[in-house]
Amino acid sequence: MLLFMAGCASNEIGHSKDVNQDEIHQGYSVWYDATKNETSIIAFFRFAGPNGTTLILDDPSKILLDGEPMEKTENGLGCSYQKTIKGQLPDGEHTFAFSDINGKALNNTFKWNNVNVDALPENISKSENLKIHLAGFKDRLSESLTVDISDTANTVSETFDRVGLDDKVVINKEKLQGLNGAVTIRINRYGKFDLKNVAHAGGYFTSEYLALEKTGTIVQ
């Protein structure tokens, strides 16, 4: 979840009024989890790059999502601004609106669309390719889709790019041969993009979407 928070990023907390406003890096992420039917949205502001000190936005600086303020949160990851939505973020365009203490507005709009996966069989045959039909990738050719199928000992994983070309992915039957019995299937979409409206320090947006997690059985 929220991969851009991982790695060697600082968890220290500073104040935006104490730094050069042109060195504030913006980091935004939207994550939908189908197992919870919940969307988590998070914004980080860091000094001097994506791994720098996290910043509290001092008045009059602020961050809005679609015109609504996000809630400041301080924890082991530093300071962030968050919003949780029960269910899915509506399809269409959404905007993160950040303004610094000098009133300079840096707005970034992203297009969101939800994924629909056709029902998968309870029994997955090793003698046939597994075809997964889905919708929700139109105009999202820069994002990838990963399918993981795991039994108690092994995991088969395959990542597909440019899924929007036909809204279908296929797991070849050869990849299923090492799996046996009960399995868990996960389908996850991921994308990372540079923001267009940024200060000198830059910024990026990540999109994650756990479209499906279900159990099934591998059969001959």
What is the extent of the structural domain holding 30? 3-113+191-209
Measure the CA–CA gap between 55 and 18, rounded to whole angstroms. 10
Is 168 in contact with 118 (CB distance < 8 Å)?
A: no
Are both 94 and 53 inside the same structural domain?
A: yes
The mean pLDDT of the chain is 91
How is residue 174 written in tokens? Answer: 């050869």
Task: Give the confidence band of 144 by pLDDT, cuts at 50, 70, 90.
Answer: confident
Q: Do 203 and 125 have their domain in common?
A: no
The 10s digit of each residue's pLDDT in 20-53 is 999 999 999 999 999 999 999 999 999 989 999 9
Average pLDDT in the 158-177 region?
84
| pLDDT attached to residue 2 | 46
Amino acid at 86: K
Q: Cβ(26)–Cβ(106) under 8 Å?
A: yes
Q: Are residues 133 and 155 in the same domain?
A: yes
Do 60 and 44 reside in the same domain of the chain?
yes
| Tokens describing residue 30 | 């939207």
Find the CATH number of the domain harbouring 202.
Answer: 2.60.40
pLDDT at 107: 98
CA distance to 32, 36, 131, 166, 207, per residue, from 40 (Å): 6, 11, 30, 28, 10
Question: What total number of domains does the chain contain?
Answer: 2
Residue 54 Cα distances to 27, 93, 99, 202, 217, angstroms: 10, 27, 16, 14, 45
| Lowest-pLDDT choice from 13-27, 59-73, 88-102, 139-153 | 139-153
Looking at the fold, whether 109 and 205 belong to one and the same domain comes out as yes
Same domain, yes or no, for 160 and 198?
A: no
Residues 95 and 196 reside in one and the same domain: yes
pLDDT value for 48 = 87
pLDDT at 6: 47
| Same domain membership, residue 180 and residue 73 | no
Q: Are residues 7 and 87 in the same domain?
A: yes
Strand blocks (E) in 126-202: 130-135, 144-150, 155-161, 168-171, 181-194
Q: Which residue has the higher pLDDT, 120 or 142?
A: 120
| pTM attached to this predicted model | 0.89
| Residue 154 sits in the same domain as residue 106 | no
Q: Do 45 and 146 sit in the same domain of this protein?
A: no
Which of 1-15, 32-46, 96-110, 166-180 bottoms out in mean pLDDT, i.e. has the lowest? 1-15
Nearest of 61, 49, 69 to residue 204 by alpha carbon: 49
Are residue 107 and residue 135 in the same domain, yes or no? no
Encode 17-50: b = buried (16+ Cβ within 10 Å), e = exposed.
eebebeebbbbbbbbbbbeeeebbbbbbbbbeeb
Q: Which tops the pLDDT comparison, 84 or 166?
A: 84
What confidence tens digit (pLDDT) does each residue in 106-141 have?
999 998 988 888 889 999 999 999 999 887 666 555
What CATH number corresponds to the domain at position 174? 2.60.40.10
